[in-house]
Amino acid sequence: MLADAIAAERFRLWRDRVSLFWGFGFMPIATLLFSMAGDLFVHFVVRKPFPGETADLANRAMGAVAGASGPITALFLLIGAAAIFAGDYRWETWRLVTPRNSRLNLLAAKLIVFGEAAAWSLLATALTSVLGGLFGSLINHTTLIGPANGPAFLGQYAGVMLVTWFEVLLIGALAALIGVQTRSTLGAVIAGFVVVFAQSTLAATQNATTWKSLAIPAYAGRVLKTFVILPAESRTDSGPAGLALVLLLVWLVVVAAAAAVLFRRQDLTRE
């Protein structure tokens, strides 16, 4: 039954091209366009030679993925998440869907499909950042180089990708909770963005790594990404990173469970 719900959600999202583009496709494209615009500005306006300048496309891609959980990207992800989690309230289709499957399966399917779409969006962000780097290298005549840490880079990239994906899943779970509570796509986007922006701003003000600062998802994600990127010999204390991972996963489970509990108790006879 869960597989049927997942297949149905995939089909619905694929048919909703507007939400699919703005929620998961716009930011990777915008990343490429801004990168190209910056390189064109350097080439035609600054016009300064950069002898010996190099471009590390691998680390460029990892940096793009690491920053893909920021407030601006989250705003567009919330558009896609709101369409997935709150769209049935807008179109009043819950009363047609719930008799055919359990509510837990329906909500879980939405979260899984959101996670799949978000993963593809992160991969697209990495790809467009590489394409932007190639474009900049071509017009500004920079030398392409590989990552200095060689084979270890793949593990670092996978770790950064996984941490960012967890952060994005938390954004989706937040949209699910707010969407179920407000029964509104607009409410899920606006309230979700306020929460993401507030906790990101709070994380930026933290100077010391304590359990309180690690309880802020944006700060926990930053600590985890820093730990993953560090060389193995520099990882002297894994305690804060381990606690950051636990707290990030706890937030994800608690928010998703709260959305599920609230959804199971709702009266959907007129939705």
Question: Alpha helices of the chain — where are they, by DSSP H?
Answer: 2-15, 17-20, 26-41, 57-66, 71-91, 94-97, 103-140, 152-182, 185-204, 211-214, 217-229, 239-264
Q: With residue 50 as reference, give the H or E element that holds it.
A: none
Look at residue 49 and tell me whether its pLDDT is greater than 60: no
pLDDT at 33: 94
pLDDT tens profile 259-270: 999 999 998 877
Structural domain boundaries in the chain: 2-264
Sort strands 143-145 and 54-56 into parallel, antiparallel or unpaired: parallel
| Distance separating alpha carbons of residues 222 and 164, to the nearest angstrom | 9
Q: Average pLDDT of 231-248?
A: 83
Q: How confident is the model at residue 50 (pLDDT cuts 50, 70, 90)?
A: low
pLDDT tens profile 130-160: 999 899 888 888 888 877 776 788 889 999 9
pLDDT at 24: 97
| Distance separating alpha carbons of residues 240 and 50, to the nearest angstrom | 40
- Of 40-49, 195-204, 252-261, the least confident: 40-49
Neighbouring residues of 197: CB distance < 8 A, sequence distance ≥ 6: 71
CB 57 within 8 A of CB 142: no
Higher pLDDT, 250 or 47: 250
Look at residue 52 and tell me whether its pLDDT is greater than 90: no
Q: How confident is the model at residue 11 (pLDDT cuts 50, 70, 90)?
A: very high
Average pLDDT, rounded, for the chain: 91
- C-alpha angle with apex 168: 131 to 103, nearest 5 degrees? 130
